């Protein structure tokens, strides 16, 4: 699941310094999601809300449309079950990357894609939203077109690194 050490370092600082969504950003998210999905989105931590919002903007700018934006917004919703802060996430990521034994919460963090996809499917989310949540740390599933996958993968990059450079 975890990316390169550079990716993990960038994500650490993104999580550490994440700011709550501003009121106009909250209204945008609510307009992009239905009530059940909005509730799910806002049940995430501030860093995950900020990351999802930034990812949705990249998806929008890539021309993915409303469904692609929802996939970007909701891909990490399974992380909230692990209840890990920035340090816990960092330790869990290193443990996963180095194949150390995992605690129950670290396993929840590792498996957040499957957990989130299961929740999204139960809510009746579009297949792209469910499949991107399920596979965003793995290989592209056949159900997601290559261009869409590449745009969503770009959207999932830490905001201050690869993604920002690619959008400029």
60-119 pLDDT per residue, tens: 999 999 999 999 999 999 999 999 988 888 889 889 889 999 999 999 999 999 999 999
Distance CA(55)–CA(29), nearest Å, equals 12
Q: What average pLDDT does this structure show over 151-156?
A: 96
pLDDT of 167 strictly over 80: no
Give the pTM: 0.86
CB 71 within 8 A of CB 133: yes
Name the nearest CA neighbour of 30 among 76, 68, 69. 69
* Structural domain for 151, as ranges: 5-167
* pLDDT given for residue 120 in this prediction: 97
Give the pLDDT band of residue 3 (cuts 50, 70, 90). Answer: low
Directed axis angle between helix 5-16 and helix 46-61, to 10°?
Answer: 110
Instruction: Go through the chain and tell me how many residues it has.
Output: 168
7-11, 17-21, 32-36: which range is least confident on average? 7-11
Tally of domains in the chain: 1
Give the pLDDT band of residue 161 (cuts 50, 70, 90). Answer: very low
Q: What average pLDDT does this structure show over 35-44?
A: 94
Q: Please give the structure tokens belonging to residue 104.
A: 């129950």
Name the nearest CA neighbour of 152 among 68, 79, 66. 68
* pLDDT given for residue 2 in this prediction: 58
* pLDDT given for residue 107 in this prediction: 95
Element (H, E) at 106: helix 104-110
């Amino acid at each position: 699941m975890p990316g390169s050490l550079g990716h993990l370092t960038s994500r650490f600082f993104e999580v550490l310094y994440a700011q709550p969504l501003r009121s106009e950003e909250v209204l945008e998210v609510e307009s992009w999601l239905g009530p059940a999905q909005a509730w799910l989105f806002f049940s995430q931590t501030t860093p995950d809300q900020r990351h999802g919002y930034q990812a949705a903007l990249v998806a929008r700018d890539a021309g993915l449309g409303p469904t692609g934006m929802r996939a970007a917004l909701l891909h990490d919703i399974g992380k909230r079950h692990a209840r890990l802060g920035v340090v816990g996430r960092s330790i869990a990521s290193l443990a996963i990357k180095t194949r150390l034994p995992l605690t129950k919460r670290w396993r929840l963090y590792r498996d957040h894609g499957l957990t989130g996809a299961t929740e999204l499917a139960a809510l009746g989310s579009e297949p792209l939203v469910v499949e991107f949540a399920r596979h965003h740390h793995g290989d592209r599933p056949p159900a997601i077109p290559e261009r869409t996958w590449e745009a969503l993968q770009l959207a999932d990059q830490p905001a201050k690194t690869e993604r920002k450079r690619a959008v400029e």
